Amino acid sequence: MSLEKILKPLTEDIECVNQVIRQSLHSDVALINQISSHIINSGGKRMRPILHLLSAGMIGEINEKNHHLAAIIEFIHTATLLHDDVVDQSTKRRNIKTANTVFGNSASVLVGDFIYSRSFQMMVQINNMKIMNILADTTNAISEGEIMQLLNINNADMDEKNYFRVIKQKTAKLFEASSLLSGVINNEKGARLRNLSKLGECFGMIFQITDDILDYSGNETEIGKNIGDDLAEGKITLPLIYAIKKGSKTQSNLIKNSIKMNKINELPNIIAILEETKAIELVRARAKDYLLTIEETISEEKPTIYKKMLLQIAEFAINRKS
Of 40, 65, 39, 41, give the one whose Cα is nearest residue 52.
65
Q: Which amino acid is at 121?
A: Q
Taking CA atoms, 50 is separated from 179, 182, 265, in Å, by 9, 11, 38
Q: What is the pLDDT of residue 168?
A: 97
The per-residue pLDDT for 45 is: 84
Give the model's confidence band at 222: pLDDT under 50 very low, under 70 low, under 90 confident, else very high: low
Average pLDDT over every residue of 234-243: 96
Structural domain boundaries in the chain: 3-319
More confident of the two residues 224 and 241 = 241
The pLDDT assigned to 227 comes to 79
Of 25-39, 88-102, 181-195, the range with the highest mean pLDDT is: 181-195
The pLDDT value recorded for residue 223 is 56
Q: How many CB atoms are closer than 10 A to CB 158?
A: 22
Give the closest residue to 56 by CA, choosing from 204, 199, 207: 199
Confidence category of residue 90, pLDDT binned at 50, 70, 90: confident
Q: Does the domain made of 3-319 have the CATH classification 1.10.600.10?
A: yes
* C-beta of residue 71 within 8 angstroms of C-beta of residue 122: yes
Longest pairwise C-alpha distance within the chain = 59
The one-letter amino acid code at 40 reads I
Average pLDDT for 285-298: 96
On the question of pLDDT at 43 being above 80, the answer is no
* pLDDT score of 235 more than 80: yes
Q: Which of 32-46, 122-136, 249-263 has the lowest mean pLDDT?
A: 32-46
Mean pLDDT value across residues 186-209: 96
CA atoms 53, 54, 60, 62: torsion sign = positive
